[in-house]
Amino acid sequence: VTAPWVAGVGPEHPFGVYNLPYGAAVLRGVPSLVVRIGDLALDLSAACAALRPDLAPLVAGPVLNPLLATGPETWRELRGAVRSWLVDEAHRPTIEPQLHPLDGLALRLPFAVGDYVDFYASEHHATNVGRLFRPDGDPLTPNWKHLPIGYHGRSGTIVVSPTEIVRPSGQVRATDTPTFGPSQRLDFEAEVGFVLGGATTSGVPVRLDQAREHIFGICLVNDWSARDIQAWETVPLGPFLGKSFATSVSPWVVPLDAFDDARVAPPARDVALLSYLDDETSEPWGLDIELCVEINGVQITRPPFSTMYWTAAQMLAHMTANGASVRPGDLFASGTVSGPSDDQLGCLLELTRGGSVPLRLADGGERSWLADGDEVVISGRVPATSGRPELALGEVRGRIRPAG
């Protein structure tokens, strides 16, 4: 267990030297990449310029994409270097002046998003939604246990926490003809996101055992959803404007290596998987991440990511099985994380049974759907066990502004 020389950041700190997430902030007026340690942001460009000029060009710009384009060897080299700077007193005179208090920094999206894919990987979520939308049919579609269902989302409207979200307007189904107006069924979705790196070749899939070469890090995602707009548009080609107005991500991308002690086996597979998805003998890709969602400061649910049926490695293998290439900066998200119990559901659609059972907030309020002014905060952590310290993923925050 290693402690940095940084004051107040012990070895058990959830943003200690076992975490070291990447972010971006405006430092001295310049958009810069940073690494978080405790409640401080290390100016990565300045530190590299002083101590590792060979790596400095990869982190000189406002986004991680040049670093993402390299690969796991370089990712590990940089991460090891940053850790050594923060632990080794000899580097303190050089590094300490490059630490900035996070308080007051404007955080930015640390990567330029290529393509954004959203999956649907929680069996509990898919089952609950299936029961609501198709009460007379099987809750899961016939394909659900054979492949991780997913679709492309809008990458241009991905915003960083705590960007405010304007309530979307759109067409919704009415008795005879549709009407247009502000969504009356605005929802959050608590998800985990995966930031990709390394180059792949068109026509060459990423195998399950190659996932580590392309998954750079993990963030939190709020896939805001206008359920009324979504319901009317979604057949036959899937979600579109019910999702595309905004998707929020946390400002910190935690390197995949930080989750080495959080790997757990995914749920048992009920049906045999085709070989490109069969993870029976692969390293475990389940992740023991606990999410927590608050509305206006009141905790409403704690979805456990370890219950997800499909893993990130399977999502990536599936997404590229047809030969589609991925690019540095591509993002994919898990889909709503819901556990088996009522206090583990990852969106209001499930928590309120389609809006029919309003959620009682501890402050006395009630919500079927999000109201203007509501602030949703999704946070995530790997809880401490005897073998590992707590690891924080930070939070993704967003407040609803009235429709324009």
Q: Which residues bind its own copies (CB under 8 A)?
A: 114-115, 117, 120, 130, 133, 141, 143, 146-147, 149-157, 159, 166, 168-171, 173, 177-180, 202-204, 226, 229, 232-242, 244-246, 271-272, 274-276, 318-319, 321-327, 330, 404
Residue 218 CB, nearest distance to its own copies (Å)? 21
Written as one letter, the residue type at 210 is Q
SS3 65: helix
Q: Give the nearer residue to its own copies in terms of CB position, either 241 or 289.
A: 241
Residue 30 CB, nearest distance to its own copies (Å)? 22
Residue 398 CB, nearest distance to its own copies (Å)? 13
H helices, E strands: number in the chain: 9, 26
Report the alpha-carbon distance of residue 145 to residue 271 in Å, rounded: 7
Report the alpha-carbon distance of residue 397 to residue 75 in Å, rounded: 28
Q: How far, in Å, are 145, 150, 234, 320, 335 from residue 208 at the CA level?
A: 17, 17, 31, 11, 19
Residue 149 CB, nearest distance to its own copies (Å)? 5
Q: Give the nearer residue to its own copies in terms of CB position, either 238 or 358.
A: 238
Q: Give the nearer residue to its own copies in terms of CB position, either 319 or 382.
A: 319
Q: Report the DSSP beta bridge partners of residue 129.
A: none
Residue 176 CB, nearest distance to its own copies (Å)? 10
In contact, 216 and 192? CB cutoff 8 Å? no
Q: Is 13 an active-site residue?
A: no
Identify the residue whose tokens are 């090891």. Answer: 80
Query: CB under 8 Å to 192, separation ≥6 — which residues?
Result: 218, 219, 220, 221, 287, 289, 291, 305, 333, 334, 337, 380
* Catalytic residue (one of 125, 146, 152, 318): 125
Q: How far, in Å, are 132, 261, 268, 310 from residue 265 at the CA level?
A: 29, 12, 8, 11
Residue 364 CB, nearest distance to its own copies (Å)? 31
Q: Give the nearer residue to its own copies in terms of CB position, either 1 or 235.
A: 235
Q: How far, in Å, are 93, 114, 203, 214 from residue 332 at the CA level?
A: 39, 10, 19, 12
Sign, CA torsion 381/328/222/78: positive
Q: Report the DSSP beta bridge partners of residue 396.
A: 378
Q: Give the nearer residue to its own copies in terms of CB position, either 289 or 319.
A: 319
Q: Give the nearer residue to its own copies in terms of CB position, either 164 or 283.
A: 164
Active-site residue list: 125
